[in-house]
Amino acid sequence: MSKKFDVVVIGGGPGGYVAAIRAAQLGLNTACIDKWIGKEGKGVFGGTCLNVGCIPSKALLDTSHKYEEAKHDFDLHGISTGEVTVDIAKMLARKDQIVKNLTMGVATLFKANGVTGLEGVGKVLAGKKVEYTPHGGEAELIEAEHIIIATGSVPFNIPPAPLTEDIIVDSTGALEFTSVPEKLGVIGAGVIGLELGSVWMRLGAKVTVLEAQDKFLHVADSAVSKEAQKLFTKQGMDIRLGARVTGSEVKDGKVTVTFQEGGEEKSETFDKLIVAVGRRPFTEGLLAADCGVNLDERGFIHVDDSCQTDAPGIWAIGDVVRGPMLAHKASEEGVMVAERIHGHKAQMNYDVIPSVIYTSPEIAWVGKTEDQLKAEGEPYNVGMFPFAANGRAMAGNQTDGFVKIVAHAETDRILGAHIVGPNAGDLCQQVVVAMEFGSSAEDIGMMVFAHPTVSEAVHEAALAVNNAAIHKANRRPKK
């Protein structure tokens, strides 16, 4: 006899486990299936984000940042140390313990909220049924009133650089280097490539980034992308734009990469190579042919604005559907879907989803770029404020970068914010809150910001939109 649930979630990442918890909180009998197997060989929840994505990469970014500070910046503060070294094995162990704590935390939250956690693989069948296969067990049938698909994404592989066991790796392999490579190549100058490249560059690797696009960080505002490229280059990262990889050869424990750059065929030899050219939705083995769920031309599950698929009672969220591949986007879609299943009129504002790159300095943005507004013919004003003029940033030796706010020229409503600098992700979130409530630049300018804080740069940038900045010269006289 098959098991029955009100809601079955397939995928236990930040979209799936959040959807399951919220559904259970609303009184729905809920199960969550996750196929992930941890390093100890046991099933765990948390998906890519907790196991090999957001969390472990930030642990390594934090360690490498502290190492770089101790090695190069302490003397500026009058702090003298002996030789600074890093124990890679201990660094990786710390990362693994953080992952273990968080994945165990998800299991604990399931118990606390009454979610049935199922370790194994789920497949969507016709008639709102799920074929559940436990790890090492026999398949069984589960019936559900509603199914939420949250299977996430996996890295793209490219034919010119097929993965090997330990020399050509994807983002997962780049978290497990047991020593610092002398020369590290990175294919792709996106979020993942820049973060992982930064980790090993800080620890001593000579990093070369091969990016096929002619513009650095083409999704970001032009002012931010130019500033970020300048700062990464200053740090020692060799960024090659318009470099299209054509082949690779592994020989004698190294990899030689060939690529087209400026119309010329070139090559570089590295100790390790990270392939970070993006991610694709994961749907392999997920959907029975007659289940009624359809994919679009790019392989994403087709959904409407409320994440309902073409099959009644089946929903899909996160990386497996349209929109940015961001953990926080997946989580909020999970909450929205759980509440809609319960009968609420929940909605999600896709116009104010922030993006963050956790390099040093951080890069963050929300809303529209100046480039987009120009292309759309939208009238706008810009306010910018450099961290070099912020007292707290000076005190912390973090003066690179700026805050940029764009607002409608007629209504003053904030249309976007673009930040490169200290704590950019947290500062951007302040503007996200303002934009969610339709605030104007003047609204932020009238708020009281604590002094001295780096967040005062947000205040000054908002004031600068209307030529009222106090701690920098305004571009034109105040009217």
Distance CA 366, CA 352 (A): 6
Give yes or no: 451 in active site.
yes
Structure tokens, 352: 């104010």
Q: Is the peptide bond before 452 cis (omega within 30 degrees of 0)?
A: yes
Q: Which of 72, 77, 344, 451 is catalytic?
A: 451
Question: What angle in degrees, to the nearest 10, is found between the helix axes of 54-68 and 191-202?
Answer: 40
Distance CA 415, CA 435 (A): 7
Residues contacting residue 8 through CB under 8 Å, at least 6 positions apart: 30, 31, 32, 33, 122, 130, 142, 144, 146, 147, 148
Looking only at the bridges linking them, the beta strands covering 362-367 and 355-357 are antiparallel
Structure tokens, 404: 């940029």
SS3 272: strand
Per the CB < 8 A criterion, the answer to whether 440 and 407 are in contact is yes
CB atoms under 10 Å from CB of 343, counted, come to 8
Per the CB < 8 A criterion, the answer to whether 380 and 409 are in contact is yes
Q: What is the DSSP letter of 300?
A: P
Residues contacting residue 109 through CB under 8 Å, at least 6 positions apart: 17, 21, 115
SS3 432: helix
Residues contacting residue 393 through CB under 8 Å, at least 6 positions apart: 387, 399, 421, 422, 454, 457
Q: Give catalytic residue positions.
A: 451
